[in-house]
Structure 1
């Protein structure tokens, strides 16, 4: 790391981040902070105050140390930037017109990066670089390819230190023209060119300069020696004089040619960029803990160009090569037999001209007597007769201990073909017998001490047997079973059971499983079996001397999984061709499929008729029949097998059946009520299609001739017949049918509907009121003695004369006969605190026009002549002393086509609240 500072800076801060204690050195000499008032140590960081070029410049390095050892940091160089120019008078430079010239800057004494510029005559006028003039940032010189008369004058070189921002000027250099004539044309002469080989570091910015003198002014071009084109990152600057390669990489290395050319000839400058890179680790070492006298081998490798050299440090000091024990070769370190003095912190250092890297590792040297505390012999070791027994003698010891075995007080020196002592101290007994039982002890020893451990070997003769194990089974989803696992064994042995399912141990926390049985039984109960419980179950029996297992396969059957990809292949007015894909059969073959549908008019999903009537499990297509025309359907498929019915498939996309002549008459035809001289007829709305409407037929009870009316709004389920001649509560015969663009459907059965009752003609008299409180009044009146109409209740109305009614007129109905429009609405009753209604206003305008016409009336009906054949928009207001009330929503008036009216003599009207009204 290089830190550049100005001479006279007050503070420099070099940082070291590591735990432990620290010390710093300058140029290899330790800094004594007790005797130095300008330098201080803060948390491992070195702080230097009042920097001095003579005392503080140099290479710094930090050493971090603790009880384990010491390591060195990277080196950091502290340099001081400066710039010094010795001013000397410069002689004039005399050239001929058309000749090339080089004005020398002469680099001053400096430290830090410099930039160069030239001033022509006055200081504020800097020489502008172009294809004829060039200021080299390598030499600082000014190059003029072809001198012109305008170039005559004084030239001053301006040098700037990039670190200090300090500037110094050279003495002026006069440029004068010779008087012996102009220079003739000549071929280019390359004055600025790069070296034959240029080393460039990875990631750096590489700048190549090339400039030529000549007459005419030469043109500069660049090329790769291998002919490959320049990548997009390469930049040409200053009329192609400067070639800049940012973030230099391996692929940028190679030959580069600069061509200078004019009409008199050409010249070429060639050079090669060499790829260099600072070291990077490709192999490092790890912390090691070795027993005393063991061999250490560490190797570190780094790449880089030039190839890095290696050195080793121990606790911050250079590690020397010792012929007998320590060997260092390139990046490898080996110590033949480590001792306690070898413990510490080691660093491998890789270095080339572009940088140095460090890697640290700790060596711990272990030396201790044998210790069995972490690995003693088992106090009681059980074995079955005829088996093999191994008893390990592996104490913790550095270096490794020598083992000696005893049985009782007898040392096992004479080993047989059944008793074997392995190199690591393990005792192995083959084909063990009852007589091999007893107390065994192992004694371990190294140069630091001795330790022993002992245990008892118990040999059993009765083998362990599985008397009842599980068998392969088939079971239905939801049932529960017990898989048996029962054994006989020697009473001296301990036993444990566990089960695996498809190779995984069954957790005791799983609510589906429970281990049941006595001391010699490991039965497994499986509750509420599901499909995912199918597979291989293994009962594992572990005793002190052996392990046994028994297994069985459980096949679980369940209802089929849901079918998928239900699609409507073709649809008509009453049928739909469906296809689907089968789901999993879950252990039992699919026997049949059921198709269900849902529409906006049904509650939930319902089964439908199909062809074939019974869809077997191998069929994946069917035709749904008896569908209603012009209805939006969803379909789903359910599979069935011997176990039961499965989950339904995802629903198909919504699909509408084609249109057809209505085949059903409206149901629940009835009515009654309404206003004076009205006959109200109602029915249940039908599923509709394109051009759908209703035909209403009515006649007074006992008469023969039917009166017909048509409403073309599909959502209508109410029709109001109005005629001043209708007596109150008079019976009418009524029937309703439907039609669409395909034709007319059947009428409903004839039913009797009564006209509206007439409102009471009597008026209560003697109405008066008295105040009860600030918010209450009592109202009194005289009862009606007799009236021909039924009186159901009394209504008391009060209002604020100065508040307009908030209620818009309701039940707005219109009838269009030719160009005459008849509009009728229910009267608006003013509420409490509202002014009495004094009249109504009806506005109408042509659709998409702004001009509005209005009609005012005190009635609840009005007649308007609509000129032309346009559609219209109307609105109705209630008027009062408090102002106009709330208007109705805009109502569109549409002309009826002649094709719709020819079959009947009728008046079509549509109500905004889905009610049709006719006046004949």
Structure 2
């Protein structure tokens, strides 16, 4: 098994101090156990007696690090039985930062005002990246960089382009190690102004500039520094000498003193120029960025297995700048190899050439490794992985191919036998160089056992299979092209005749996709036996139309037959319904057709919807019938100034399809109203009023904005109309008031409509009477009578002829003469002089008066009179009800009801009798506590008893349920005097047939009376 390193050690490691432990990860993959060893600076590390170093899972762990002993280049070698490979190299370095050697105050720097100055930092010995800052006078006041002051992160020095008086003070350099995060401070450097004058202006002098050549790695961040001293303070600018502008990724920092190029690429290489300029002159510095890249693989090799004496050729290719050189390793060392332009070749492989090989690509910026295993094979032939099938089948007349593919190194020489005889080439028999046997146009004579024999210098092997020849398979019933309607079901036949020695399977494809009968079981099912693969399609949908292919697979051949199924359905929805032109009553529509779904579209139906309709309604069109070839039509009969939506429904011989999406809402143009108000009438009101009413015109018939009504009226027999205008569309009543209007005089009335476009038609003329005056006389001889606890009868004399109309009378009643808000009213139309007031309280005094009324209202009331309602009836129902049946006569008896002091006395009893299937209830009134009833033998009855009093009917008894009785029961009925209540209940509930009744009655000699007390629900009979 090949070796593969999956974790390489990091190329460079900076450690903080020697107090830490370090682990160099190096893990390899192999089925066979792997052993790893490490070397330092090319020398194998002996871990036997080294207490500081040990291995863990291929990683080297070093404790108690020692700067002198552990610094260097590490490399891991992984071994297994197949060979060895090297990891990439890792350099271990120690980061540190020493203190400044002298902590005494540095010598003062004396400068004139306006002169430039450089304060040197001189960082101490260190390893690892440093950053610099300067403290001004005391912490935490740091020097802030600007166009006049700059701190170089290369040298650490502080540059002041032009000294000012405010710069005088002590300056301390702060050095920080970014790896160890240690920080050290230099001793202060005093900056002092000289007293011998101010420095005059001078041209820039570049003090900070990048080298002439700046090597930079691919994808690294390059920072170029440039700063100049001068008076005035110079301005810094950058350019490429090639004239190529900077890409957007380039950044200028610290007042242009730093040019930063992130993610460096080949195109960023070239000469860069820094320009420092003031009004006294300018100076420039140039340097070239040279691009370099460590090697990167373009092509590597893969694990290879070759037979002994074969030739090996491996090639690897890498890119890098400068161009990498190549070397090859076998198991970590130089081997028996030939190298040319990075390619490895070995001629006439032997077993000793097996092992792990590495291609090494290297330039001065890095080294990379690519590994692969070479296996040199030497083995006798074997058919363990590719034997002939024990039984081979072929169709008569077909071509048979028998493969001979032994595993052998070197490759084996093969021959074929038919039975025990070596097979020779003929016109039909071909032996291919790779050992394959081909027999064309096979017949039954070719049926036999065939053996392939393979041989090389290490041994011989063979494999045998028996060939049988079968008759061709025939399709006896094929599916045919069909047309079918959506929702129907069909069976597509697929039946064959075949050789019994063959195994047969059927499958179906629909439009090139194999049908999954489990997933699509709602519609598809394969039916039939071993020689039938019929396909049943249930509840066919439009998407089931297409090509169906039945595929028959046997051991020796594959056949297929197909049919086209055309599914017809209602048309699909039309699309893009648009209103091309619209008037006040018509709309011209256009649309695009939908799918015809197998049946040509024969016509279209246009539907419309407005905010005033319930759903979609079919509309009239021109032409009246829109045939299937038309894609435009004009809708007629629309209402003006109404917002319409339209949709189109297509039809074909199958039926109506789905409607199209609705068109954009479109409003018809406005027009003069063409609908007059209806149901014009009126009348009533108060004195000197003419009340006119009408049914408002619906909004959808108002035909435009600014809709209102024109009311015209005149006294009957006159010519001139009086007109009034109402601008509110929803108003349905108009009152004309004039003191000269005679009461109850007839008027001709008509109502019209108008809108912003003009006036529409008027309604037909109706006769409306003006308001009349109320009756002027009150009824006389008003009398009352208390009828029951809840009812009073009121009687009066009819009024004689008076000038005013009398339409009827109104009786007014109240309980308390001091509380008029308790007034109740009962009206009776016509010339009646009696009314019953019901729903009153029992035993209560009521005051009453009567007035005549007409449309103007009630006239004066009669003088009030009072009366008292009766006491309430007893609230107890008759109890202990017993009944006796003799023949068709039922005799009922009950206990009397005694009224309380606050109740009306009992004056008699009311017996209610209801027959099954009849709505009428018969009543019998008696002043006794017994009654006889004659019943029909073929009906069920329900009986209830109530006490009667002056106050009305009392509470009803529990209903008595009498089942119908047969003739035999009537003839054999006799009295029963001592049957328990439970037994009697059982009898009535169970004995529904005459035979059962007779059997029980005849089994009890003492039956001479049938007495029954029942307490059953009143509704249980029905």
With structure 1 as the length reference, what TM-score do the two structures score?
0.70
Aligned to 2:128: 112
Aligned to 2:222: 206
Of structures 1 and 2, the one with the larger relative CO (CA 8 A, separation 6+) is 1
CA distance 1:570–1:3, change in 2 (3 Å): same
Aligned to 1:453: 463
CA distance 1:631–1:415, change in 2 (3 Å): same
Aligned to 2:70: 56
Q: Which SS does the other structure have where 2:570 is aligned?
A: coil
Of the candidates 158, 161, 183, which is equivalent to residue 166 of structure 1? 183
Aligned to 1:822: none
In 1, Cα distance between equivalents of 2:38 and 2:715:
120
Q: 1:439 touches 1:455 (CA, 8 Å); kept in 2?
A: yes
CA distance 1:265–1:636, change in 2 (3 Å): closer
Aligned to 1:504: 513
Of the candidates 219, 222, 229, which is equivalent to residue 238 of structure 2? 222
Q: How does 1:509-908 map to 2 (within 5 A)?
A: 509=518, 510=520, 511-516=522-527, 520-665=531-676, 683=695, 686=698, 687=700, 688=702, 689-693=704-708, 712-715=727-730, 739-741=754-756, 742-747=758-763, 760-764=811-815, 791=837, 793=839
Q: 2:47 touches 2:54 (CA, 8 Å); kept in 1?
A: yes
Q: Which SS does the other structure have where 2:445 is aligned?
A: helix
CA distance 1:794–1:33, change in 2 (3 Å): farther
- CA-based RMSD of the aligned residues comes to 5.3
Q: Which moved more, 1:780-789 or 1:47-56?
A: 780-789
Larger radius of gyration: 2
Q: 2:676 touches 2:760 (CA, 8 Å); kept in 1?
A: no
In 2, Cα distance between equivalents of 1:44 and 1:446:
43
In 1, Cα distance between equivalents of 2:506 and 2:726:
82
CA distance 1:434–1:669, change in 2 (3 Å): farther
Residue 766 of structure 1 and its aligned partner are, at CA, apart by 11
In 2, Cα distance between equivalents of 1:706 and 1:283:
109
CA distance 1:333–1:759, change in 2 (3 Å): farther
State the Cα deviation string for residues 646-698 of structure 1 (Å, max 9, x = none): 22211112223333344345678899999999999785872344233467899
Q: 2:750 touches 2:762 (CA, 8 Å); kept in 1?
A: no
Aligned to 2:448: 438
CA distance 1:734–1:376, change in 2 (3 Å): farther
Q: Does 1:415 align with 2:425?
A: yes
Q: Which SS does the other structure have where 1:532 is aligned?
A: helix
Residue 439 of structure 1 and its aligned partner are, at CA, apart by 1.4
Q: 1:760 touches 1:790 (CA, 8 Å); kept in 2?
A: no
Aligned to 1:857: none
Aligned to 1:833: none
CA distance 1:319–1:708, change in 2 (3 Å): farther
In 2, Cα distance between equivalents of 1:353 and 1:127:
40
Of the candidates 74, 87, 93, which is equivalent to residue 79 of structure 1? 93
Q: 1:764 touches 1:782 (CA, 8 Å); kept in 2?
A: no
Q: How does 1:329-408 map to 2 (within 5 A)?
A: 329=340, 331-336=342-347, 347-361=358-372, 369-408=380-419
Aligned to 1:883: none
Aligned to 1:853: none
State the Cα deviation string for residues 495-551 of structure 1 (Å, max 9, x = none): 444443333334434444444556555444444444334433444444444444444
CA distance 1:671–1:156, change in 2 (3 Å): same
Q: Which SS does the other structure have where 1:55 is aligned?
A: helix
Aligned to 1:249: 265
Q: 1:101 touches 1:147 (CA, 8 Å); kept in 2?
A: yes
Residue 583 of structure 1 and its aligned partner are, at CA, apart by 1.9
Q: Does 1:427 align with 2:437?
A: yes
Q: 1:279 touches 1:304 (CA, 8 Å); kept in 2?
A: yes
CA distance 1:701–1:437, change in 2 (3 Å): farther
Q: 1:560 touches 1:586 (CA, 8 Å); kept in 2?
A: yes
In 2, Cα distance between equivalents of 1:382 and 1:479:
42
In 1, Cα distance between equivalents of 2:732 and 2:64:
100
CA distance 1:791–1:574, change in 2 (3 Å): farther
Aligned to 2:1014: none
Q: 1:666 touches 1:748 (CA, 8 Å); kept in 2?
A: no
Q: 1:420 touches 1:428 (CA, 8 Å); kept in 2?
A: yes
Q: 1:571 touches 1:658 (CA, 8 Å); kept in 2?
A: yes
Q: Does 1:318 align with 2:341?
A: no
Aligned to 1:307: 323
Residue 427 of structure 1 and its aligned partner are, at CA, apart by 0.9
CA distance 1:86–1:683, change in 2 (3 Å): same
Residue 225 of structure 1 and its aligned partner are, at CA, apart by 0.6
Would you say how many aligned residue pairs link Structure 1 and Structure 2? 777
Q: 2:55 touches 2:61 (CA, 8 Å); kept in 1?
A: yes
CA distance 1:458–1:187, change in 2 (3 Å): same
Residue 577 of structure 1 and its aligned partner are, at CA, apart by 1.4
Q: Which SS does the other structure have where 1:439 is aligned?
A: strand
CA distance 1:188–1:711, change in 2 (3 Å): closer
In 2, Cα distance between equivalents of 1:419 and 1:699:
123
CA distance 1:152–1:764, change in 2 (3 Å): closer
In 2, Cα distance between equivalents of 1:214 and 1:280:
47
In 1, Cα distance between equivalents of 2:271 and 2:560:
74
In 1, Cα distance between equivalents of 2:684 and 2:334:
119
Q: Which SS does the other structure have where 2:95 is aligned?
A: strand
Aligned to 1:819: none
In 2, Cα distance between equivalents of 1:450 and 1:752:
129
Runs (5+) with no aligned partner, structure 1: 769-779, 797-920
